[in-house]
């Protein structure tokens, strides 16, 4: 029954009320008990990157609220927080001390010689990797994986690790139980290598898991590793690294399937996904505060399919963020777009099936092995925010809208509004899902072969008492499915959990409307 909402602390603004209080009000009053967990994106004082350039890991941004607000949220929901472990702000106390040659901070940041061999480094940005700074010890070149304001920490120094052990202890004391290891894949650097997913990085993850589990048995580590699928799966380790890993390949593959009406690549990927061991699981999502990543489909989509996806997203108002290659060129890294607009049509252009396609995407996600997570703007079907993007100058802001809470309340009361309709339907699906033992995160999953325009898979509960056939028409045309193709046991009665309609076992086939999903369960 676990389900997660992903949100910034200031998504909802209500007069002089602190945003964290407004957020809790929304969760308590509007979600109707459909979710039990909340991923609260960085709520610390920061200097840039919407919270990911942290000034002080031990404080709450006063504009959002205080630690009492965090503790109050943690009393109501299982709370996930970012451990922004790879870097911190160039305006932080630690970095100021680094410049002055003082502790703590003097040896906290990764520096290197600009003549070092950095040709193999892989990173998701195009700005210079090294930034020269004047320190008490002369000019030093600090490593900046993401931006010049986000300076990478040096985990070769055990003092840095000790600081983060203290930070983890603080977060546990404040009620945080799920730790998202932000940008963890870039943590360890060795000249002459890619500086990505190095063995030492995995060792740090194992150590953090040991520390966290020792302090709080119920705590969970999730790794944020927006990288090719095979590398991402490695963060499960030998059941001794991440408890959860992001299913980063799901968003681009699912969007691609729905805009092309072809499930081929999505099906291939699902067939190759190993079942998670007990105690670990996948974190399924379709949208987040970032864009739709393209690195996770390297080797999964053909270059032509990937370019078609990019072109279609751009035609729907999306923007492209780039990463630098070692040959001096650039390559698309992610598509920045609100999911509701990403699904406004197909490769043929916008059409009338936006809402149905959007619901279909989430019905598929909800059925998959793992824990489902909804970005707040997916729950609310928020569209592209061009004004915010232009105001900040950052592509990612297109999907980081801030709602006036009174306006949102009015909208959600209007049953004819698409925001209200989709929010209501997604909550309904979440509640149905939460009652099914076959949707346990570690329940059996088997991919079905039902043709390219139908995407299907079978789930079976751990007790083997419940089976659910998850069948989705991913095309804009009505389609027919032969009942014999899913081999329903004739001694059982079956019904679609979504429509609550009993399946006629005498019929030869099922009719599926465009983008309709069935959850066919034995009763």
d(CA 270, CA 267): 5
- What is the side-by-side strand order in the sheet with 330-336? 292-293, 330-336, 319-324
| Contact present, 401 and 382 (Cβ < 8 Å) | yes
Rounded to an integer, what is the distance from CA 447 to the centroid of its chain? 23
Annotation marks residue 56 as catalytic: no
Q: Is 512 left (phi over 0), alpha (psi -120 to 50) or beta?
A: beta
Give burial (CB, 10 Å; 0-12/13-18/19+) of 217: exposed
Name the pairing type of β-strands 12-13 and 403-404.
Answer: parallel
Helices 250-260 and 303-315, interaxial angle, to 10°? 80
Dihedral of alpha carbons 301, 303, 308, 313, sign: positive
Q: Which of 294, 239, 249, 252 is nearest to 273 (CA)?
A: 249
Q: Which of 202, 154, 158, 195 is nearest to 181 (CA)?
A: 202
Rounded to an integer, what is the distance from CA 291 to the centroid of its chain? 9
Q: Which helix (H) or strand (E) is 332 found in, with range?
A: strand 330-336
CA angle 201, 205, 208 (to 5 degrees): 135
Distances, alpha carbon 414 to alpha carbons 77, 80, 140, 408, 421, in Å: 28, 32, 58, 10, 9
Give burial (CB, 10 Å; 0-12/13-18/19+) of 134: exposed
| Cβ atoms within 10 Å, residue 358 | 25
d(CA 414, CA 404): 16
Q: Is 351 left (phi over 0), alpha (psi -120 to 50) or beta?
A: beta
| Contact present, 521 and 433 (Cβ < 8 Å) | no
Name the pairing type of β-strands 4-7 and 371-375.
Answer: parallel
Name the pairing type of β-strands 220-223 and 176-181.
Answer: parallel
Give burial (CB, 10 Å; 0-12/13-18/19+) of 158: exposed
Helices 405-413 and 418-434, interaxial angle, to 10°? 80
| Contact present, 192 and 174 (Cβ < 8 Å) | no
Catalytic residue among 182, 341, 453, 476: 182
Residues acting as catalytic residues: 182
């Amino acid at each position: 029954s676990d389900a997660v909402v992903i949100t910034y602390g200031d998504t909802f603004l209500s007069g002089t009320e602190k945003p964290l209080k407004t957020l809790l009000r929304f969760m308590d009053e509007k979600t109707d008990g459909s979710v039990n967990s909340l991923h609260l994106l960085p709520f610390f004082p920061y200097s840039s990157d919407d919270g990911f350039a942290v000034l002080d890991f031990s404080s709450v941004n006063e504009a959002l609220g205080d630690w009492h607000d965090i503790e109050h949220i943690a009393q109501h929901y299982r709370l996930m927080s970012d451990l922004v472990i790879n870097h911190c702000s160039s305006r932080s106390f630690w970095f100021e001390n680094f410049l002055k040659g003082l502790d703590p901070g003097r040896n906290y940041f990764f520096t290197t010689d600009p003549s070092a061999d950095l040709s193999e480094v892989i990173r998701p940005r195009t700005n210079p990797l090294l930034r020269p700074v004047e320190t008490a010890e002369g000019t030093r070149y600090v490593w900046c994986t993401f931006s010049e304001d986000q300076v990478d920490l040096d985990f070769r120094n055990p003092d840095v690790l000790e600081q983060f052990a203290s930070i983890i202890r603080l977060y546990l004391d404040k009620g945080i139980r799920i730790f998202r290891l932000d940008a963890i894949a870039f943590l360890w650097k060795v000249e002459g290598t890619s500086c990505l997913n190095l063995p030492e990085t995995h060792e740090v993850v194992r150590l953090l898991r040991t520390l966290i589990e020792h302090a709080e048995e119920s705590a969970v580590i999730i790794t944020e590793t927006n990288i090719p699928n095979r590398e991402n799966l490695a963060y499960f380790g030998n059941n001794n690294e991440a408890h959860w890993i992001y299913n980063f390949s799901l968003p681009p593959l699912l969007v691609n399937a729905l805009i092309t009406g072809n499930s081929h690549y999505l099906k291939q990927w699902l067939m190759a996904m190993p079942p998670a061991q007990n105690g670990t699981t996948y974190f399924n999502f379709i949208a987040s505060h970032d864009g739709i990543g393209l690195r996770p489909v390297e080797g999964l989509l053909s270059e032509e399919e990937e370019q078609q996806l990019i072109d279609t997203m751009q035609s729907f108002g999306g923007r492209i963020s780039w990463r630098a290659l070692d040959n001096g060129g650039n390559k698309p890294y992610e598509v920045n777009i609100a999911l509701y607009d990403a699904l406004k049509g197909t490769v043929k252009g916008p059409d009338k099936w936006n809402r149905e396609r959007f619901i279909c995407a989430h019905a598929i996600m909800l059925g998959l092995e793992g824990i489902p997570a909804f970005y707040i703007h997916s729950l609310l079907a928020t569209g592209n925010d061009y004004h915010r993007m232009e105001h900040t100058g950052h592509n990612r802001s297109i999907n980081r809208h801030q709602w006036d809470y009174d306006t949102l309340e009015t909208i959600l009361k209007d049953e004819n509004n698409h925001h209200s309709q989709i929010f209501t339907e997604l909550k309904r699906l979440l509640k149905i899902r939460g009652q099914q033992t076959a949707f346990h995160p570690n329940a059996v999953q088997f991919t079905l072969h039902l043709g390219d325009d139908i995407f299907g898979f079978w789930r079976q509960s751990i007790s083997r008492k419940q089976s659910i056939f998850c069948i989705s028409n991913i095309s804009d045309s009505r389609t027919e499915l032969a009942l014999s193709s899913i081999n329903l046991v004739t001694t059982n009665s079956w019904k679609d959990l979504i429509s609550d309609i009993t399946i006629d076992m005498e019929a030869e086939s099922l009719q599926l409307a465009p983008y309709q999903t069935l959850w066919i369960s034995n009763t």
